[in-house]
Amino acid sequence: MTSSRPPVHLMGAASGDAADDLALGTALLHAVDAAADGRIVRTYRPVPTAAFSRRETHLPGFDRAVSAAAAAGFAPVIRPTGGRAVVYDAGSLVLDVLEPAEPHRGHREAYGAVSGAIVAELRALGVDAGVGAVPGEYCPGDFSIGARGAVKLAGVAQRATRSARLVGVVLTVLPSPAAAEVLTEVNAELGLEWDPATCGSVAQELGAPIPPDLERRLVAALAPGAEVVDRHRWLRRAAVG
């Protein structure tokens, strides 16, 4: 499914609340579904968040994992996508890519297109980036974004409705020892294996300051020519939230 509307970049589209940030992504997904809008890339720096999957809520150690995250200042939330626990903070950049989509089609292609576009841009910056699972990574996935085949830089998840799709990326830009420590505690409580040595960041791979236009470059790779739109104005237009 395609749309004649130009792509849009909702920049800095964060609410300041972890649960509300996830809810806004869902609201945008349903807005795209209803309006058959063009591609939207929403970017924001998140508050400290521990995002669990619904499957993990059934594990024996879930309540302890939630308590550990909250005690460390990472808001525990349940995300609508699958996978495993992900812990992140303002050292990460969240990119939600939303667009019209045919129902039950193009699932892997969408993953590949988003991961591939980000990897290409990271490579242009000098990062030895690639797409694919990293042994021992958190929230394992075929379309994870890693570096040198040894560390994970981003997790990629997807959710679809009747006629729209959201591919969400959490890219670790700056190292966060606090997030890595919480993820270690969370996975231990859940009984899930994870190798903390696989937790990487763009900054560590570059060995240099992060380019100030990194966000703009990634959005341009995902949605060339996207118009920067204030999220409040777009939401009013779409009658969301």
C-alpha to C-alpha distance for 223 and 218, rounded to whole angstroms: 9
- CA 204, 207, 210: angle at the middle one, nearest 5? 80
Under 8 Å CB-to-CB from 230, ≥6 apart: which residues? none
Buried b (16+ CB within 10 A) or exposed e, 3-17: eeeebbbbbebbbee
The whole-chain average pLDDT of the chain stands at 90
| Predicted local confidence at residue 199, as pLDDT | 96
| Predicted local confidence at residue 140, as pLDDT | 93
pLDDT above 90: percentage of residues in the chain? 72
Region 100-119: what's the mean pLDDT?
A: 90
Judged against a pLDDT cut of 70, whether residue 36 lies above it is answered with: no
Judged against a pLDDT cut of 60, whether residue 115 lies above it is answered with: yes
| Predicted local confidence at residue 4, as pLDDT | 55
C-alpha to C-alpha distance for 25 and 114, rounded to whole angstroms: 17
Between the alpha carbon of residue 229 and those of residues 54, 63, 96, 157, the distances in Å are 32, 39, 15, 24
What are the pLDDT digits (tens) for 56-73? 999 999 999 999 999 999
Domain boundaries, the chain: 8-238
Judged against a pLDDT cut of 60, whether residue 3 lies above it is answered with: no
C-alpha to C-alpha distance for 151 and 141, rounded to whole angstroms: 13
What are the pLDDT digits (tens) for 133-166? 999 999 999 999 999 999 999 999 999 888 889 9
- Name which residue leads in pLDDT, 55 or 234: 55
Instruction: Specify the residue for token string 């100030």.
Output: 212
CATH class for the domain made up of 8-238: alpha beta
What are the pLDDT digits (tens) for 189-232? 999 999 999 999 999 999 999 999 999 999 999 999 998 987 77
Task: Count how many residues are written for the chain.
Answer: 241
In degrees and rounded to multiples of 5, residue 33 shows phi and psi of: -60, -45
